[in-house]
Structure 1
Amino acid sequence: MIRRTRLRTLLIALFGALCAAIWAIFLSLPHLGARAGLLDRFESGLIDLRFSTFGPVDLPSDVVVVAIDDAALADPALAAMTGRARLAHVINAIAAQNPKVLAVDVVLADAGDAAGNAALAEAIGSLPSVIAAAGTFPIVQAGSGLPVLENELWPLPVFSAAADTGWVNIATDVSGTPRHIPLMFLTSQGLQPALPLRAAALFSADTPEFDRNVLRLGARETRLDFGFHMPLRLAGPSGTVATIPALDLVEGRANGRLSGKMVVLGLTGTGLGDRFPTPFDGNTPGVELIATAISQLLGGPGLVRDDTVRRVDVAMAASVAFLCTFIVLALSLGPGVTLALGVLGLWIALIWLAFPFGWWLSAALPLLATLPPVLGAAGMRYVQERRRSAITDRAVVALKKFQSPALADMIADDPDFLSRPVTRDLVIFFVDLSGFTLLSQTLGPQGTEDFLKRFHSVVAREVHKQNGIVFNYMGDGALAVFGMRDTHPNPADDAMKAAFDLVAAIVALGTSQGLDVPLGCRIGIHFGPVVLSRLGDDRQQQVSVTGDSVNLASRLMEIAKAQGASIVATADVLSALNARPERDAAEIKTVEVRGRAGNVDVHLWTV
């Protein structure tokens, strides 16, 4: 029966685990295809938390930002120039420092003035340069994942003739935080590269090669997400990328700092240029993100989140959901939930620890894939265990009617209690009524039954009051033991106290029944080793206490009758006392015990 129940539990656990795995796979479908979904909202906060946990990273010194900030815009000399002339003046100052490549993160799409345009085009053309184009990409080309640009803003022909063009669009998540840099775009003029890719290729003098979701730039490989999107490893708060104010450059305070560098020029003044929230800073200029992307392509810290990583996400989410749900359904509620949360926590910890090594594994997916089925399984186990507990409680209540309540509790707490015999030193306590044969004739059958119930209740009350356990009722007698409960270390004292109280209670019982003859009893007590065991087969068992000590305690009843005593206790009991009994023995004798070799020292009380 137990094996059948266990097999049924395991089959239910397996079915529930399979359902959890199917749920995880269904939940993963948008993630597997890099489509926006519910997961992205949760993953946004969790990836930000990982950025915050591990903090900023160092970027290569090859990339430098030149910022046209509020100080430059407020400078009287620069403020007197037109926008194009001012930009040309700054670029000429950059060119004088002999950088290797210049990337201009400014979209030169408006008409401007002819003189300013000519001066700016000449400045841009004086060194290897990439200038910006921009647009919007509300849709993704089906099958390719490439962003399709709309509302395109191209630089004026006078500028595009002087430099290469690259697109500066950044892909953000639902919170507006930058997450990817698309490296290729579908435009009205065909496939066009992003500005970071153009600039990095120009700087390294390597031709970009795409192979499925891998970009090769010389000896460097960058693993890309769907649609040639590069996951962006945010470096830190604003200013993490090496930055030189444009005014310092124009006024000659930055000599030698741009030689051989990859320079990214952009607007950071108030109200100018794009700004984005990041885990490090709520207002990071877009030019710094472009510079970070270029650094990443040139070998700086990056993130890997491609189709392989997404498949690992799905496989592990399904596996963790399967395993955790199986554990909760297969084990009891407390250990099952603890172990399941431990398994989930271990995988989340591994996801966290993989981040500083450049791996962007989804933390939201295993959480959302695992917690709902685990909570459902835990609820199911809770209901099952409450139902089983109720059944067990009813069984224990019923068992207490056939066994001592203390024994019933021990068996309920430990079903294997006394599955193997145990030898212990206990106090054995026998009691029977004196003159019961004559009494039963007087009371009749029904009266005798009613009287015995009251007698047994008195025995149980006095024995249990002193921490004893009644093992058997035998007509007008009973067998009890003291010392089975380890929390009560003085069983001999308890037994003697119970004996005196029981004699008085039985006398009171006789008085309450209006008996013509005072009711008395005989009690035999011995302390010694006994064997506790279960008797019977696997279907029906009873707890038994056996051994010479039990036989001796039983024979003490005969001695009590022969000596006219109410209580007879062996010297072993008196030796085990921690305190003197409430009454001194009326007599101490050495007696023979029927059926037993040798004599026994006994103490007798007549109460």
Structure 2
Amino acid sequence: MPNRLKRLWPLLAINLCVLVLGLLHVLSPAGSALHWSFIDTIENLAYDSRMLLTMEADRDDRIVIVDIDEDSLAEVGRWPWGRDKLELMVEQLFDQYQARLVGFDVVFAEPDDSSGLRVLERLAADELADQPAFHDELANLRDELDYDQRFAASLRGRPVLLGYYFRRDEAEANNRSGALPPPVLSAADFRPNSAHALEANGYGANLAIFQEAASGGGHFNPEIDSDGVVRRVPMLFEFEGDYYESLSLAMARRIVGADRVEPGYAGSGPFGDSGYSGLEWLQAGGLRIPVDERLRALVPYRGRYGSFPYVSAADVLSGAVPDEVLHDRIVLVGTSAPGLFDLRSTPVQSEYPGVEIHANLVAGILDNRIMERPAYTLGAEFIHLLLAGLIMLALPLLSPLLATTGFAALLLASAGLNLWVWNAADLVLPIGSVLVLIMLMFVLNMTYGFFFEQRNKRQLSGLFGQYIPPELVDEMSANPQAYSLAAENREMSVLFSDVRGFTTISESMAPAELADLMNSLLTPMTRVIHGQRGTIDKYMGDAIMAFWGAPLPDPDHARHAVEAALQMVARMHELQAEFQARGWPAIRVGVGINSGDMSVGNMGSEFRRAYTVLGDAVNLGARLEGLTKNYGVDILVSEFTREAVPDHAFREIDRVRVKGRDEPLTIYEPLGAKAELDPGVRDELKLYQEALRLYRNQDWDLAEMQLLNLQQRTALKLYAVYIERIQFFRQQPPGDDWDGVFTHTSK
């Protein structure tokens, strides 16, 4: 198992558990222990968001709402109005305005005694029983004062549908009032176990005299979700084995002239037999009304309050409404007055007249614009959740940037696909569980990664924090198992730097001032080394030992070491002005660099150990630092380092044997990148290289002349060193077998 996968197995196990719980949520019924109710809340919010994004937001003039509003109550009187007023309203709607269909979103459950007819009849039976004139006058007035009969007569023969409601509370079981219209279906009309409509145990309906006179009726029970919002309305309610239609379905069915309602099953439609035969829609003539497993339809809200024309009921009674507003219109009579308690919370508005909910449904049914959420979307949700979970399981294996990008892409793709299906197919696919799963797994991954990486960083900081910069600790924390303090051989580069004449400097300064100087010197030098990904081995008084290539492998270790040395010298020159201002002496450093195989690891004794490098290549680096003062240069590198940095320019200094090493080597001074080298320096290097050739050929006179010319051009100590050697070799020739190597006998 790869190291990263092995390290992440606890996180993968946690994520897998979350995925399994999410799948169990999808498969578990609402109310069960494994069904997370908060996801239902998120699902509702997601549904509302899609509704708000895609609703048409224009006005539909086909349906007009006659509003028993505050102005009507102020003008006509408090509700309920006398049935004579309602008789006048019906006659006005049909006789003057020629409405096409009228539906009442109110219930006429009690007799109207406001005319005084009942009082007159009691007087005729008791106190005025022996007054023939009274009886004759009562007979003449009876028809005029019987408001219920007058209202019933206004309904008879006209396309009027009355609303009523069902009761479902156990406390109101068998509480029945009024007369129900005929049911549209019975249990025998459904396939076995296919119909699961909401069951009623009571009802509040209209007086029989009204229901018998009307063309029909329908219930206006909304389905209120757990958050108090109306998103669905039952198209059918079951009562004692019979099924009763909603007011909106009854009105739409009457508009298209459909005599009956038929259940529609999957597999019986245009796509043939799919093997799944759940009840998915109701058919009424050419109307197809999608329903869910409880025979509820989603309300296709057109927009906010006022998506349909409203006219005041008082204006209808007085005939003040322009004829064209109501002519051949579908009319719903209801109320927007807060005191009559028919304001509902909906996805589009928190206070929304219930009568406009029915208007939206009627329009949606007529336009075949009802969104579908069939039972098989459960399977789609399960598959979507499974795929999203598997993708999220793989993200911890990626880098944090790729994992975050993948999370965002998956979240956007899931939401985008869901919205596309909503628009293109009028299909409501669940999205809440998927969004929760993706975000929860992402938070888990990030939280685990944060604490795990912090722990790794603390561990690595404990191991390497005193040696390497924090940014390298960050890199190492991505795969901490790859790094340890165990000793091993690697090809690396080592750097030694030392302050020239430090003993003399230290003797002239007070201890506190000396400590301040060392801090001011070593801090910027360390920053340079860290900036080039170097590891500080140790501080030795005024000296620094650093290396490249461990604990992090560095294929460019030689380049980074050389560039660090050049920057250290440049930074040292910048510090001179500051040191001078503080009264400190001018300081120069010598730097030696070598590259080669070294042993690196935690080394020392049982009392004290340190992460360091050892080996002949390390010793050579230290010798090179000591030679810098002999040649008057700031930096010396070995031929091995020079070969590893081909794009830098170097001045060949000498071929030497250093103390403790028999093999000769060529040493160089780095000058910077070739592309940035000054043309004058490039010309001087050519002349110097020619002088070296003459020197090694023992052509002392020409070599000396060349070096003297160079010395006049640039007063380098290096030229003086070679002039001095030429003078020595004139007196004591090295012999014909001389290889041009100079042997140093001191460190």
TM-score by length of 2: 0.58
Offset at residue 204 of structure 1 (A) = 0.7
Question: Which gives a bigger RCO, structure 1 or 2 (Cα 8 Å, sep 6+)?
Answer: 1
Q: Contact 2:649–2:671 (CA<8 Å) still a contact in 1?
A: no
Matches within 5 A, 1:39-58: 39-54=39-54, 57-58=57-58
- Answering whether residue 351 of structure 2 is matched by residue 283 of structure 1, we say yes
Residue of 14, 18, 24 corresponding to 1:20: 18
Which residue in 2 is equivalent to 1:604?
Answer: 717
- Pair 1:484 & 2:560 matched: yes
Q: 1:345 to 1:485 in 2, by over 3 A?
A: farther
Partner of 2:627: 522
The corresponding residue for 1:219 is 286
2:200 maps to which of 130, 145, 149: 149
Q: Which residue does the alignment assign to 2:297?
A: 230
Matched, 1:38 2:90: no
Q: Find the partner of 2:322 among 248, 254, 275.
A: 254
Contact persistence 1:303–1:360 (CA under 8 A): yes
Aligned to 1:336: 403
Instruction: Note if 1:265 corresponds to 2:333.
Output: yes
1:124 aligned residue: 155
C-alpha contact (below 8 Å) 2:290/2:372 kept by paired residues: yes
Distance 1:53 1:522 in 2: 77
Q: Counterpart of 1:507?
A: none
Q: Per-residue deviation at 1:216?
A: 2.2
Residues 34-43 or 224-233, more deviating:
34-43
- In 2: Cα distance, 1:348 partner to 1:298 partner: 30
| Match in the other structure for 1:514 | none
* Alignment of 1:94 onto 2:93: yes
Alpha-carbon spacing, 1:489–1:81, altered in 2? closer, same or farther (3 Å): same
Residue pairs, 1:491-530, within 5 angstroms: 494=570, 501-502=588-589, 521-523=626-628, 524=631, 525=633
Deviation string, structure 1 residues 257-280 (Cα, Å, up to 9, x no partner) = 333332212233452252112344
Distance in 2 separating the partners of 1:380 and 1:152: 56
Q: Who is 1:555 aligned against?
A: 655
Distance 1:13-1:595 versus aligned 2 partners, 3 A rule: farther
Cα distance 1:303–1:500, how it changes in 2: closer, same or farther (>3 A)? same
Secondary structure at 1:555 match in 2: strand
Residue 285 of structure 1, CA deviation: 1.7
Alignment-derived partner of residue 618 in structure 2: none
CA distance in 2 between partners of 1:410 and 1:210 (Å): 65
Partner letter of residue 24 of structure 1?
Answer: G
Aligned to 1:512: none
Query: Match for residue 217 of structure 2?
Result: 165
Once the 2 structures are TM-superposed, how far is the Cα of residue 223 of structure 1 from its aligned partner? 1.9
Q: Distance in 2 between matches of 1:177 and 1:477?
A: 73
**Secondary structure of 1:103's aligned partner:** strand
Please list every run of 5 or more consecutive structure 1 residues that lacks an aligned counterpart in the other structure: 435-456, 505-519, 535-543, 559-567, 581-587
**In the TM superposition, what are the counterparts of 1:188-587 in structure 2 within 5 Å?**
188=240, 190-206=242-258, 207-211=260-264, 212-252=279-319, 253-272=321-340, 274-299=342-367, 301-327=369-395, 329-352=396-419, 355=422, 358-397=426-465, 400=467, 464=525, 467=528, 484=560, 494=570, 501-502=588-589, 521-523=626-628, 524=631, 525=633, 552-553=652-653, 555=655
Alpha-carbon shift at residue 411 of structure 1 (Å): 9.0
Deviation per CA, 1:167-220: give whole Å up to 9, x if none: 110001123221111011112472211111111111111232211111223333
Out of 164, 183, 186, the position equivalent to 2:235 is 183
Contact kept? 2:167, 2:200, Cα under 8 Å: yes
Give the letter for the 1:198 counterpart: A
Give, in whole Å, the separation in 2 of the partners of 1:394 and 1:270. Answer: 70
Q: 2:569–2:589: 8 Å Cα contact kept in structure 1?
A: no
Q: Distance in 1 between matches of 2:87 and 2:26?
A: 51
How far apart are the structure 2 equivalents of 1:80 and 1:178? 25
Contact 1:59 1:301 in 2 (8 A): no
Contact 1:483 1:489 in 2 (8 A): no
2:552 alignment counterpart: none
Post-superposition CA distance 1:145-173 (Å, at most 9, x none): 31111331121111121121211100011
Displacement, 1:112?
Answer: 2.4
CA–CA distance in 2 between the matches of 1:532 and 1:224? 79
CA distance change for structure 1 residues 531 and 52 in 2, over 3 Å: closer, same or farther? farther
- CA deviation after TM superposition for structure 1 residue 304, in Å: 2.3
Aligned AA for 2:68? I
Whole-Å Cα distance in 2 between the matches of residues 411 and 593 of structure 1?
Answer: 51
The equivalent of 1:508 in structure 2 is none
Q: Are the structure 2 counterparts of residues 596 and 263 from structure 1 closer, same or farther at C-alpha, using a change threshold of 3 Å? A: farther
1:375 Cα deviation from its structure 2 partner: 2.4
Aligned to 1:517: none
Contact 2:497–2:589 (CA under 8 A) maintained in structure 1: no
Shift of 1:470: 9.8
* Distance in 1 (alpha carbons) for counterparts of 2:544 and 2:338: 100
Say whether residues 1:134 and 2:141 are aligned partners.
no
CA distance in 2 between partners of 1:592 and 1:501 (Å)? 31
Q: State how far apart, in whole Å, the 2-side matches of 1:21 and 1:168 are.
A: 41
The answer to whether the Cα contact below 8 Å between 1:200 and 1:297 also exists between their aligned partners in 2 is: yes
Give the drift of 1:593. 9.1
Code of the aligned partner of 2:717:
L
Letter in structure 2 aligned against 1:217: A
Once residues 362 and 556 of structure 1 are traced to their aligned partners in structure 2, the CA distance between those partners, rounded to angstroms, is 79
Q: Structure 1 stretch 234-243 or stretch 167-176: which is displaced more?
A: 234-243
Counterpart in 1 of 2:605?
none
Alignment coverage as a number of residue pairs:
528
Gaps of 5+ in 2: 114-144, 171-186, 188-192, 265-278, 483-489, 502-517, 548-556, 576-585, 592-624, 659-666, 681-687, 711-715, 722-747
Structure with the larger strand share = 1
CA distance, structure 1, for counterparts of residue 544 and residue 360 of structure 2: 93
RMSD over aligned Cα, in angstroms? 5.4
- Relative to structure 2, which stretch is displaced further, 218-227 or 523-532? 523-532
TM-score, normalised relative to structure 1:
0.70
Query: Matched residues in 1 for 2:229 and 2:411: separation?
Result: 27
> Aligned partner of 1:501: which letter?
R
Identity over aligned pairs, percent: 16
Alpha-carbon separation, structure 2, partners of 1:106 and 1:470? 85
Secondary structure, in 3 states, of the residue corresponding to 2:371? coil
Structure possessing the higher radius of gyration over alpha carbons: 2
- The answer to whether the 8 A contact 2:233-2:298 is kept is yes
The residue aligned with 2:507 is none
The farther-off stretch of 5-14 and 406-415 is 406-415
Structure 2 CA distance for partners of 1:137 and 1:235, relative to 1, 3 Å = farther
CA distance in 1 between partners of 2:694 and 2:469 (Å)? 33
- Label 1:393 to 1:194 Cα distance change in 2 as closer, same or farther (>3 A): same
Q: Deviations over 1:334-362 (max 9, x none)?
A: 54244324422432344356555544333
Could you tell me which residue of structure 2 aligns to residue 85 of structure 1? 84
C-alpha distance in 1 between matches for 2:235 and 2:626: 101
When residues 366 and 533 of structure 1 are mapped into structure 2, their CA distance, relative to the original with a 3 A threshold, is farther
Q: Output the amino acid matched with 1:158.
A: I
Secondary structure, counterpart of 2:105 in structure 1: strand
Q: Using a 3 Å threshold, how does the CA distance of structure 1 residues 209 and 388 change in structure 2: closer, same or farther?
A: same
